[in-house]
Amino acid sequence: MDLNYKQFFEVMPAYLTILDRDLRIIAANQRFRKDFGEFEGRYCYQINRHRSERCEQCPAERTFRDGLRHGIEEQFKNLSGQEVSLIVYTTPIRNEGGEITAVMKMATDITEIKLLQNQLRESRERYRQLFEEVPCYITIQDRDLHIIEANRQFREDFGDVLGCKCYQVYMHRTEECLPCSVKQTFQDGQVHQIEEVVTSRDGQQMNVLVYAAPIRDGGGEIISVIEMSTNISQIRQLQSQLTSLGLVISSISHGIKGLLTSLDGGIYLVNSGLEKNNQERVKQGWQMVERNVARIKTMVLDLLYYAKDRDPDLEWIPTLMVAEEVCELMQGKAKEYGIDFQCAFDPGAGHFAVDAKAIRSLLVNLIENALDACRVDKKKNKHQIKIRLKGYPEFVEFEVYDNGIGMDQETRERAFSLFFSSKAGDGTGLGLFISNKIAQVHGGEIKLESELNKGTRVTIQLPRKGPGSKPASPKPL
């Protein structure tokens, strides 16, 4: 070897060795000698791998065989027994006649790079695991609201829907939501929060709290948005119980104020009757006291009744009676709004075991919704509400139909949720929620069919025998 090449060979910052056909090391540079020791008379596999036999995949052997350069990643053990990761290249050394007389092996230490690669892989796996296993729905969306990634919980509940639009999957809509937190985040780069009702692929509705946050590239530009939705249905259910309690307390408090005034009245009539020796007034006053004490008693019992999970107060009553009472009450209102109000009652609908007060309020609620739907609909000249009652052997079916404003799919799906109202500031978001509850505690169900700008049909099936017995031919909601 010329002196210059020998100097280069010696100082190269890599492990350089020259092997003969038996893989014996015939030359090695300074760095190799320092880390792997003296080489004279020894084979490369002895020194590099501490083996007594040749390696299964030996790049030097291949180079001897085919005369080409070969590369491989290998683990060597240095003098102190430490594993070193290396990238090894072999290249042939030929004599003047072109015959391969030796192979030069150059090994570059990549231990630190491997360490960093491993750390990066582990870190990626950790984040992947976190992304996959976090107990909420996570999607990553592009500017067109396509879902480009989704975690395990999302895929389980909403299906493998990569490439679909977010609103199609979550809301079953054909148009994007307004407002859309993902779009807002793309626009201003801020985190946005919104509460939604979404429907899983098996039809289960959930109240979710949605957070959208930007994902930026190295230049700070937003390339996608991560949307995280937490199921808060249980919190909402708890809230609904508290709300019901609040409503009951507020209504009872109002009632009590009236009762106390009436009691004051009775006492006044008794006292003033005694003073004036007016027996008729005393009698009238005493009746007032008795009546209002009885009402307080009922109210307190009601309060106790609501305080625990409420069971319906069942009575075996004629279905026609309930239907007629409610329709009589609501007919006047319909007339006031110029809405045609028709009733078709099956005279043989028979009896059912229900909490009459609760069922009356359920029907009033649904008819009030129908009235509102007609009242706000400016697209038709004539509006109509039809109430139908039909008796079946096992259950009774009420139907409230209106040709009012109707509902789109999203509104239909959210209609029974607590605090959801399609009536802007005029609704409390309680009506259909409570109606549904009433039907459920009777072992019945409410079915909703509606089309935007065409109308709505609500069907209520109630078992004749009350809770515990299902309708004979239950239909899915």
Partner 1 sequence: MASKKKILIVDDEQDILTYLSTLLEDNGYNTVLAKNGEEALKQMEAALPDLITLDISMPGKSGVKFYRDMKVDDRWKHIPIIIITGVSEDFKKFISSRQQVPPPEGYLSKPIEKEEILALVKKFTA
Q: Which residues bind partner 1 (CB under 8 A)?
A: 253-258, 260-266, 268-269, 272, 281, 284, 288, 291-292
Q: Least separation, in Å, of the C-beta of 329 and partner 1?
A: 10
φ, ψ of residue 80 in degrees (nearest 5): -85, 10
Q: Between 28 and 288, whose beta carbon lies closer to partner 1?
A: 288
Per-residue tokens: 218: 């190295």
Residue 400's nearest CA partner among 438, 372, 430 is 372
Q: Least separation, in Å, of the C-beta of 255 and partner 1?
A: 8
Q: Between 102 and 326, whose beta carbon lies closer to partner 1?
A: 326
Q: Least separation, in Å, of the C-beta of 302 and partner 1?
A: 17
Q: Between 208 and 270, whose beta carbon lies closer to partner 1?
A: 270
Q: Between 200 and 428, whose beta carbon lies closer to partner 1?
A: 428
Q: Least separation, in Å, of the C-beta of 254 and partner 1?
A: 4
Q: Between 262 and 361, whose beta carbon lies closer to partner 1?
A: 262
> Any idea what the Cα angle at residue 91 is, between residues 89 and 92, rounded to 5°?
155
**3-class secondary structure for 409-443?**
HHHHHHCCCCCCCCCHHHCCCCHHHHHHHHHHHCC
Q: How far apart are CA 103 and CA 114, in angstroms?
A: 26
Q: Between 233 and 284, whose beta carbon lies closer to partner 1?
A: 284
Cα four-point dihedral sign 275, 276, 277, 280: negative
Cα radius of gyration (the chain): 41
Q: Least separation, in Å, of the C-beta of 288 and partner 1?
A: 5
Q: Between 14 and 263, whose beta carbon lies closer to partner 1?
A: 263
Q: Least separation, in Å, of the C-beta of 284 and partner 1?
A: 7
Q: Least separation, in Å, of the C-beta of 467 and partner 1?
A: 31
Q: Least separation, in Å, of the C-beta of 270 and partner 1?
A: 11
Q: Between 95 and 253, whose beta carbon lies closer to partner 1?
A: 253
370 φ/ψ sector (left φ>0, alpha ψ -120 to 50, else beta): alpha
Q: Between 292 and 422, whose beta carbon lies closer to partner 1?
A: 292
Q: How far apart are CA 18 and CA 103, in angstroms?
A: 6
Q: Least separation, in Å, of the C-beta of 445 and partner 1?
A: 30
φ, ψ of residue 71 in degrees (nearest 5): -130, 150
Q: Between 265 and 467, whose beta carbon lies closer to partner 1?
A: 265
Q: Least separation, in Å, of the C-beta of 282 and partner 1?
A: 12
Q: How far apart are CA 356 and CA 316, in angstroms?
A: 9
Q: Least separation, in Å, of the C-beta of 258 and partner 1?
A: 5
Q: Between 213 and 256, whose beta carbon lies closer to partner 1?
A: 256
Q: Least separation, in Å, of the C-beta of 244 and partner 1?
A: 19
Q: Between 270 and 385, whose beta carbon lies closer to partner 1?
A: 270
Q: How far apart are CA 332 and CA 39, in angstroms?
A: 109
